[in-house]
Structure 1
């Protein structure tokens, strides 16, 4: 059996990275248990929530807690943890190397550049608007407003780091710009433009994970994630409602 404390440290770090970056609880727990089994620990005990992890091995006095301070969507990190876990299972890396790779992954925080994220948001906005409404006339303006809204969401998140405020302000700007664009003759349907433009802000992954967690029996993490997703959706709705009420 590998060093017990190092096994627990590795399991905690792997679980933390996965949960912080959008993995459902069942996948994070399964990965942690596989790491433990491949280290010679067959009865790892895990208590996982969206705000913390507790891991212990019954035969030893060792138990550790890891706080989960942030929640984002970076499925590339989730995939990387699974890749390292498979390499460890195949004995291509040892436990120390596995832990060091996780530390590097967590500290380096590789992410797509801002311009590429904005381009992705624009590409998502226009086609989804066309799919929902069949309106091809507003495709270009919806892409531009969707990219603008995501840019505002991105920078407010970086500056303030306050949950739900970024969604509210971004949707507020999207609503104002959509109204201005239609009144200026650059667009035709305010509703269609807004529907497409807010799509990059919609918390689809958290809501999906909330349902999957509930179905897997995680009756603490599932509803918590669901409430968080609903609050994000409400922030978006309040921003658009403010525009319709006062403009």
Structure 2
């Protein structure tokens, strides 16, 4: 692999890590172009969508090469986004070599992030405190702690076997509604609505909505619309899951909310 090809692949790898970790479209393009120009590429162009990266470079010999990379999975790991962003900005000041950048990218990509137990505890407390924010009682808070942990365990397990996100969010909404209704039925909780609302906040596509707005404002209309549609379908999935459980409960027991 000659130098130009290596630069192209390194830039694409950096962009892939950012996009898979929840980074904005403009940040992916900016980072890839910064890496290319840091290694004296004559001209570079990139086009990024939430599911794909296209980058083309022209070297000093006027040879143009391109690369297309498909993005199949996306998660949220802003630490990786920050690390790749910092790396791209430090190439010129620190005079990093291609091999050094490639090695650091592999190291960043292999970073596992927080342990599952930490994420489960964080999700549990997030659901609990959201319930309090929406006016829930201490009983509702305790029920939401359990629901938050269960939702995180289920979503992690299903993501590991690559189950469709729509199904995962539907199941999460259904679990939140079912446990909330059962807890109030047996006087373990006080308000079904507060528990459900607080718990499903874990599933709300906040990052997707934020990136959709940011990309649209930046002029990346395709990415902005794609992320907005993604957020819309996540919301629909959560509504279907929780709504179906509530409807079945009403049919079976005649009513809910006090």
Scaled by the length of structure 2, the TM-score of the pair is: 0.89
User: Which residue in the other structure is 1:16 paired with?
Assistant: 16
Worse-superposed segment, 73-82 or 133-142 = 133-142
Question: How do 1:188-203 residues align onto structure 2 when only pairs under 5 Å count?
Answer: 188-203=190-205
Contact 1:146 1:196 in 2 (8 A): no
**How many residues of Structure 1 are paired with residues of Structure 2 in the alignment?**
245
Instruction: Find out whether 1:164 has 2:178 as its counterpart.
Output: no
User: Which residue in the other structure is 2:102 paired with?
Assistant: 99
Shift of 1:21: 0.9
User: Which residue in the other structure is 2:26 paired with?
Assistant: 26
Shift of 1:161: 2.5
Q: Residues 163-207 of structure 1, C-alpha deviation per residue, up to 9 Å, x if partnerless?
A: 211111121111111111011111000000011111111111111
Shift of 1:93: 2.7
Instruction: Find out whether 1:205 has 2:207 as its counterpart.
Output: yes
Shift of 1:13: 0.6
User: Which residue in the other structure is 1:76 paired with?
Assistant: 79
Larger Rg: 2
Scaled by the length of structure 1, the TM-score of the pair is: 0.93
In 2, the alpha carbon distance for the partners of 1:193 and 1:182 equals: 10
In 2, the alpha carbon distance for the partners of 1:115 and 1:212 equals: 32
Q: Which portions of structure 1, spanning 4 or more consecutive aligned residues, are displaced by more than 4 angstroms? A: none
Superposed CA RMSD: 1.7
User: Which residue in the other structure is 2:253 paired with?
Assistant: none
Provide the secondary structure at the position in 2 that maps to 1:133. Answer: coil
Question: How do 1:1-247 residues align onto structure 2 when only pairs under 5 Å count?
Answer: 3-41=3-41, 43-58=43-58, 59-91=62-94, 93-106=96-109, 108-133=110-135, 135-247=137-249
**Unpaired runs of 5+ in structure 2?**
250-258
In 2, the alpha carbon distance for the partners of 1:115 and 1:101 equals: 27
Contact 2:34 2:89 in 1 (8 A): no
Worse-superposed segment, 231-240 or 40-49 = 40-49
**Unpaired runs of 5+ in structure 1?**
none
In 2, the alpha carbon distance for the partners of 1:109 and 1:22 equals: 15
